[in-house]
Amino acid sequence: MFEYAPAPESRDVVDIKPSYDLFINGEWVESLGYERIKTVDPASEEILSEVAHATEADVDRAVQAARKAYDEVWGVLPGRERAKYLFRIARIIQERARELAVLETLDNGKPIRESRDVDIPLVAAHFFYYAGWADKLKYAGFGERPRPLGVAAQVIPWNFPLLMLAWKIAPALACGNTVVLKPAETTPLTALAFAEICRQADLPPGVVNIVTGAGDTGSALVRHPDVDKVAFTGSTEVGRLIARQVAGTGKRLTLELGGKAANIVFDDAAVDQAVEGIVNGIFFNQGHVCCAGSRLLVQESAATAVLDALKRRMATLRLGDPLDKNTDIGAINSAAQLAKIRELSDAGEAEGAERWAPACPLPERGYWFPPTVFTGVAQSHRIAREEIFGPVLSVLTFRTPAEAVEKANNTPYGLSAGIWTEKGSRILWMADRLRAGVVWANTFNRFDPASPFGGYKESGYGREGGVHGLEAYLDV
Amino acid sequence: MSRASRGDAERPARLSVRKTYKLFIGGAFPRSESGRAYAVSSTKGDFLANASRASRKDARDAVAAARKAFPGWSGATPYNRGQILYRVAEMLEGRRAQFAAELDGVPSKKAGELVDAAVDRLVWYAGWSDKIGAVRGAANPVAGPYFNLSSPEPTGVVAVIAPDEPLLGLVSVIAPAIVTGNTCVVVASERAPLPSITLAEVLATSDLPGGVVNILTGFTGELAPWLASHMDVNAIDLTGVTDPDLARRCEGDAAENLKRVLRPKPSDWSEEPDLTRMTAFLETKTVWHPIGV
């Protein structure tokens, strides 16, 4: 492996305040409660800042602000004016892209290469895409005058903090809704930076409200009686709770939940390309990806060749300082998540699967887990069934396409799947039978604002992205 | 001659052969495994028939039958599904008088119109089988060298709590669920279940594969929660649940495996439907492939 000199991105572009309040009605307001949440850099355990832990009363203020903004301003604003606000936001994100990328990497632990080249460009693209829809909704296939829903309560996860914010806020605003968004407890900083961007864009007060907090804050938001729409991205476990809470209230609900995607490699696949796809599928963003290709299904006849090539490739992955531009694998987002990854990996060993990781020195401070692969995995093993949400790949084999389909679909999840083969008709045959919302053939983990994303079965319901993503925020 | 006419006068009036109303599961007509039945009365209070009172086991059998039928039905070509739905309309048209007579409490002219509307509704949905993909699918213009196509797909097994409008309402909830490739378990109107079993006779003679539609008669309050909490049901249509507490309970139970829920809402079955009853039970699958040489 080549030696690389460190190439760290400068932190100077970000200005993190020691403390943040809530963003309600266009202003920074103090929480009515006293609790604060410290947010740390998971690569160093350094405390970056502290944010408010919003209470039920704070949430109520935010929802009231959103309601007022909906009734008086945003809900009656012509689509072309809403569009221009969203375009303006997209442009400011592009202007401040480097700062947002560094901030995201600091707060989340993901490599700067990913936040700079994937997250932030997709955030800007998402606002740009939905901006264009705001004055064209009558062409979207939902009737001549599709109406917004009202106030949207949005709760997002920590794996793609600003990107998930964009997936939630851009379509909601384009359709004429106002929002109250709660960022994840461990990654609030880019959402708070986004609040500043709303101010720079002169977005009318109350259209976007950001309340930081923990699970109880999210629960208060979801339960608030004046909310018309709930959108959640996160674990299936919490998704179930939310669906129960929403039952009988008439609130609209979309959920983007967990996954346990099969990445299926046939013996005629281009091995090097497939290996890049496998690595991207499971080690992108430390495997903190709901659609991660966490189950590798490899055809028995190709298993040795693919696994040898995969292990060679894994040995070249660079783990370490997320701000270093050479880094492939950054820090695990939190101590809690690291504990969960360790627990499931230990269970994998205990249940009889064989564990392998390349020699990979881990930094002393911070939360780290080496890229890991398990072979000899049975479908009954926990590491084949449960979402690990970390850089851990479980390998199973198959003989026939029908067996591959059977094993791929043998999960309560249905978010994504991958197919690697040079045979076109087999791709389409497989794609037809895989019960998953996104199927990547000879590629993996591609995202685009124009492309709908979302799951079958217990991976949730509703789609984000594309024309389909509008439906979640329209009264149709 | 006189003897013969005397004989005619003494012969008693012919006793009609009544129909036993059973369940419709997997293409067969079993009685409830529980042996239970309940008396169905006319709107005037007269006895009409004993309907089967389906049990939890019947509901589970019906789900198993629907699951078994799903791969074949969802894998059939849209053209084929459309033709079969049209065939159902043909068979229903042929039994117009029977259904009109069975619509209890409805004046005969109105009853005939309701049957006509049900036939027309089936024809309307039949035509959607090979068009919904074009209307709800999309070739997505992504920013990169990728082919990217979204298509609607059936969500799986749908539990349908049918409304009290015994024929037109029933057809209006079954057709949109199955035309796209879902299979279903239907809980018929508790008050007026008999036309649903007669409709099952139509379905059974329309080339519809067994198990695509399964019909249970019985108590909604008993059957709906079992279907709402069944882990192999993918979606539930609560249209026929009129009790808000029951609707809330079913929606809450449906959360356990993240069922898609179509909430109850007042419907005017005489109006032309929109797409929402179909799209409620559709997933969107998006397939990516790189473009290159």
Is A453 in the B-facing interface, judged by CB distances under 8 Å?
Answer: yes
User: Which residues of chain A neighbour B228 with C-beta distances below 8 Å?
Assistant: none
- In angstroms, what CA-CA distances link A444 with A262, A313, B112? 11, 17, 56
Is B146 in the A-facing interface, judged by CB distances under 8 Å?
Answer: yes
The amino acid occupying position A265 is V
User: Which residues of chain A neighbour B265 with C-beta distances below 8 Å?
Assistant: none
Distance CA B264, CA A268 (A): 50
Quick one: pLDDT at residue B1? 45
Nearest to A466 among B140, B143, B251 (CB): B140
User: Which residues of chain A neighbour B252 with C-beta distances below 8 Å?
Assistant: 243-244, 247-248
Q: Which of A189, A199, A210 is nearest to A66 (CA)?
A: A210
Provide the CB-side half-sphere exposure for A355 (13 A, CA). 18
From the candidates A255, A444, A456, which should be mutated to test the interface with B, based on the most B CB atoms within 10 A? A456
Distance CA B211, CA B193 (A): 19
Rg of chain A over all Cα atoms, to the nearest angstrom: 22
Distance CA B68, CA A146 (A): 39
The CA dihedral of B79, B85, B88, B92, to the nearest 10 degrees, is: -130
Distance CA B74, CA B153 (A): 8
Distance CA B14, CA A122 (A): 79
For every one of its 476 residues, what pLDDT tens digit does chain A have, with 9 covering 90 and above? 567 899 999 999 999 999 999 999 999 999 999 999 999 999 999 999 999 999 999 999 999 999 999 999 999 999 999 999 999 999 999 999 999 999 999 999 999 999 999 999 999 999 999 999 999 999 999 999 999 999 999 999 999 999 999 999 999 999 999 999 999 999 999 999 999 999 999 999 999 999 999 999 999 999 999 999 999 999 999 999 999 999 999 999 999 999 999 999 999 999 999 999 999 999 999 999 999 999 999 999 999 999 999 999 999 999 999 999 999 999 999 999 999 999 999 999 999 999 999 999 999 999 999 999 999 999 999 999 999 999 999 999 999 999 999 999 999 999 999 999 999 999 999 999 999 999 999 999 999 999 999 999 999 999 999 999 999 999 99
Please list, residue by residue across A387-407, b when 16 or more beta carbons sit within 10 angstroms of its beta carbon and e when fewer do.
bbbbbbbbbbbbeebeebbeb
- Nearest chain B Cα distance for residue A248, angstroms: 4
Q: State the DSSP H helix or E strand holding residue A385, giving kind and residue range, or none if neither.
A: helix A382-385
Structure tokens belonging to residue B10: 């003494």
Structure tokens belonging to residue A286: 């430390």
Structural class in CATH, domain A11-257+456-473: alpha beta
Q: Which of A1, A14, A402, A445 is nearest to A196 (CA)?
A: A14
| Closest Cα in chain B to A439 | B287
Taken in order of first residue, the domains within chain B and their CATH numbers are 23-40+49-290 (3.40.605.10)
From the candidates B234, B285, B291, B293, which should be mutated to test the interface with A, based on the most A CB atoms within 10 A? B285
Distance CA A109, CA A367 (A): 9
Distance CA A208, CA A125 (A): 19
First to last CA, chain B: 96
Is B290 in the A-facing interface, judged by CB distances under 8 Å?
Answer: yes
User: Which residues of chain B neighbour A438 with C-beta distances below 8 Å?
Assistant: 285-288
Is A239 in the B-facing interface, judged by CB distances under 8 Å?
Answer: yes
| Closest Cα in chain A to B152 | A437
- Nearest chain B Cα distance for residue A28, angstroms: 36
The size of the A-B interface in CB pairs under 8 A is 111
| Closest Cα in chain B to A242 | B255
Please list, residue by residue across A73-103, b when 16 or more beta carbons sit within 10 angstroms of its beta carbon and e when fewer do.
ebbebebeebbbbbbbbbbbbbebbbbbbbb
Is A257 in the B-facing interface, judged by CB distances under 8 Å?
Answer: yes
Q: Which of A160, A188, A176, A161 is nearest to A229 (CA)?
A: A176
Is A128 in the B-facing interface, judged by CB distances under 8 Å?
Answer: no
CB contact under 8 Å between A240 and B144, yes or no, is no
Q: State the DSSP H helix or E strand holding residue A149, giving kind and residue range, or none if neither.
A: none
Judging by beta carbons within 10 Å of its beta carbon (0-12, 13-18, 19+), is residue B12 exposed, middle or buried? exposed
CB contact under 8 Å between A460 and B258, yes or no, is yes
Cα B242 off chain centre by: 18
CB A143 within 8 A of CB A476: yes
Look at residue B147 and give its three-state secondary structure: strand
| Closest Cα in chain B to A412 | B257
Crossing angle (nearest 10°) for helices B168-179 and B108-126: 10
Quick one: pLDDT at residue A4? 85
User: Which residues of chain A neighbour B287 with C-beta distances below 8 Å?
Assistant: 431, 438-441
User: Which residues of chain A neighbour B74 with C-beta distances below 8 Å?
Assistant: none
CB contact under 8 Å between B138 and A467, yes or no, is yes
| Closest Cα in chain A to B265 | A250
User: What letter does residue A117 receive in the DSSP assignment?
Assistant: I
User: What letter does residue A185 receive in the DSSP assignment?
Assistant: T
CB contact under 8 Å between B138 and A125, yes or no, is no
Instruction: Spot the catalytic one: A256, A387, A458, A471.
Output: A256
Structure tokens belonging to residue B140: 């997505």
Crossing angle (nearest 10°) for helices B168-179 and B194-204: 40
User: What letter does residue A314 receive in the DSSP assignment?
Assistant: H
Active site annotation includes A45: no
Nearest to A441 among B257, B263, B288 (CB): B288
CB contact under 8 Å between A454 and B251, yes or no, is no
Find the angle CA(A92)-CA(A94)-CA(A97) to the nearest 5 degrees.
105
CB contact under 8 Å between B288 and A427, yes or no, is no
Long-range contacts of A299-305 (CB under 8 A, 24+ apart): A299/A265, A299/A266, A299/A267, A299/A397, A299/A398, A299/A399, A299/A404, A300/A397, A300/A398, A300/A399, A301/A267, A302/A265, A302/A266, A302/A267, A302/A269, A302/A271, A303/A395, A303/A397, A305/A271
Distance CA A4, CA A361 (A): 15
The amino acid occupying position B132 is I
- Nearest chain A Cα distance for residue B233, angstroms: 10
CB B184 within 8 A of CB B212: yes
Is B155 in the A-facing interface, judged by CB distances under 8 Å?
Answer: yes
Nearest to B284 among A244, A248, A468 (CB): A468
Is A94 in the B-facing interface, judged by CB distances under 8 Å?
Answer: no
Structure tokens belonging to residue A84: 């221009």
The residues spanned by each domain of chain A are 11-257+456-473, 262-441
User: Which residues of chain A neighbour B135 with C-beta distances below 8 Å?
Assistant: 141
Nearest to B141 among A442, A450, A468 (CB): A450
- Nearest chain A Cα distance for residue B213, angstroms: 21
Is A247 in the B-facing interface, judged by CB distances under 8 Å?
Answer: yes
Is B77 in the A-facing interface, judged by CB distances under 8 Å?
Answer: no
Sign of dihedral through CA atoms A109, A112, A114, A116?
positive
CB B153 within 8 A of CB B282: yes
ipTM value > 0.85: yes
User: What letter does residue A391 receive in the DSSP assignment?
Assistant: S
User: Alpha helix locations (H) across chain B?
Assistant: 2-10, 56-75, 78-94, 96-102, 108-126, 132-136, 168-179, 194-204, 220-229, 244-254, 276-279
User: Which residues of chain A neighbour B143 with C-beta distances below 8 Å?
Assistant: 125, 448, 450
CB contact under 8 Å between A443 and B290, yes or no, is yes
CB contact under 8 Å between B256 and A467, yes or no, is no
Is B134 in the A-facing interface, judged by CB distances under 8 Å?
Answer: no
Find the angle CA(A85)-CA(A256)-CA(A395) to the nearest 5 degrees.
130
Is B148 in the A-facing interface, judged by CB distances under 8 Å?
Answer: yes
Specify the CATH superfamily of domain A262-441: Aldehyde Dehydrogenase; Chain A, domain 2 (3.40.309.10)
Is B145 in the A-facing interface, judged by CB distances under 8 Å?
Answer: no
Structure tokens belonging to residue A104: 């995201």
Is B79 in the A-facing interface, judged by CB distances under 8 Å?
Answer: no
The amino acid occupying position B249 is R
Rg of chain B over all Cα atoms, to the nearest angstrom: 22
From the candidates B155, B289, B293, which should be mutated to test the interface with A, based on the most A CB atoms within 10 A? B289
Nearest to B251 among A125, A248, A457 (CB): A248
Three-state helix/strand/coil letters over A397-442: EECCHHHHHHHHCCCCCCCEEEEECCCHHHHHHHHHHCCCCEEEEC
User: Which residues of chain A neighbour B257 with C-beta distances below 8 Å?
Assistant: 412, 457-458
Quick one: pLDDT at residue B8? 58
Is B288 in the A-facing interface, judged by CB distances under 8 Å?
Answer: yes
Regions of chain B where pLDDT drops below 70: 1-9
Find the angle CA(A235)-CA(A98)-CA(A108) to the nearest 5 degrees.
25
